[in-house]
């Protein structure tokens, strides 16, 4: 009897095999007429309650839709809210916090490393510029530039400005073109 009482108290829903066993069992022979009438009355009452609950649920769902329409809520807004809530919930998880913390720490280390590399490179360039080899190279370039200025500027002690050299070169080119076109005309006349 205790096994039967325990079976009636189970809260788990019936599974496929359980339903088959219950459907194939014939309990009507074990029940008295009075118990059968009570169970039929209970069955009718449960079916009425289920119907009433379905009607109440349907009415509440319609009322919910009306309220949402009045508030201007639609499916897209609900999806946005659900997404925002899910995103917030995900951000509050321990795994997300640990991952965020780890990546943030790694980013800080990378930033510091890049900063150190930049500082080291700047220092090396500074050291290189002050080295005797670079000073020698700088002097050679300066000598070469001075020499070129002297050659381009002719005997002018100042070496001439870039604009002056450019102007004189353009003037010389224009004269040679003018002289070249005269020769061509003279050659044509001779033919």
Cα gap 191→189, rounded to integer Å: 5
Q: What pLDDT does 153 receive?
A: 63
Q: What pLDDT does 160 receive?
A: 57
Q: What pLDDT does 2 receive?
A: 46
Reported as half-sphere exposure (CB side, CA atoms, 13 A), residue 71 has a value of 11
Give me the DSSP letters along 115-135.
HHHHHHHHHHHHHHHTSHHHH
Q: What pLDDT does 90 receive?
A: 85
Cα gap 174→150, rounded to integer Å: 24
What tens-digit pLDDT sequence spans the chain (191 residues)?
Answer: 444 444 555 556 656 566 666 566 667 778 889 999 999 999 999 999 999 999 999 999 999 888 988 887 777 777 888 888 888 888 888 888 888 888 888 888 888 888 888 888 888 888 887 888 877 888 888 888 887 777 776 555 555 566 776 676 667 666 656 555 445 545 444 54
């Amino acid at each position: 009897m205790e096994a039967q009482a325990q079976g009636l108290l189970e809260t788990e829903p019936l599974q496929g095999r359980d339903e088959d066993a219950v459907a194939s069992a014939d309990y009507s022979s074990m029940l008295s007429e009075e118990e059968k009438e009570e169970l039929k009355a209970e069955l009718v009452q449960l079916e009425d309650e289920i119907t009433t609950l379905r009607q109440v649920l349907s009415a509440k769902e319609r009322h919910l839709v009306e309220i949402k329409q009045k508030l201007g809520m639609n499916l897209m807004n609900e999806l946005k809210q659900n997404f925002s809530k899910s995103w917030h919930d995900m951000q509050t998880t321990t795994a997300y916090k640990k991952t965020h913390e780890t990546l943030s720490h790694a980013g800080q280390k990378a930033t510091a490393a890049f900063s150190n590399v930049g500082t080291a490179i700047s220092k090396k360039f500074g050291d290189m510029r002050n080295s005797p080899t670079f000073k020698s190279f700088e002097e050679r370039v300066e000598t070469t530039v001075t020499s070129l200025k002297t050659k381009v500027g002719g005997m002018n002690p100042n070496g001439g400005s870039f604009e002056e050299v450019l102007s004189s070169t353009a003037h010389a080119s224009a004269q040679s073109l003018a002289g070249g076109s005269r020769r061509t005309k003279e050659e044509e006349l001779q033919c």
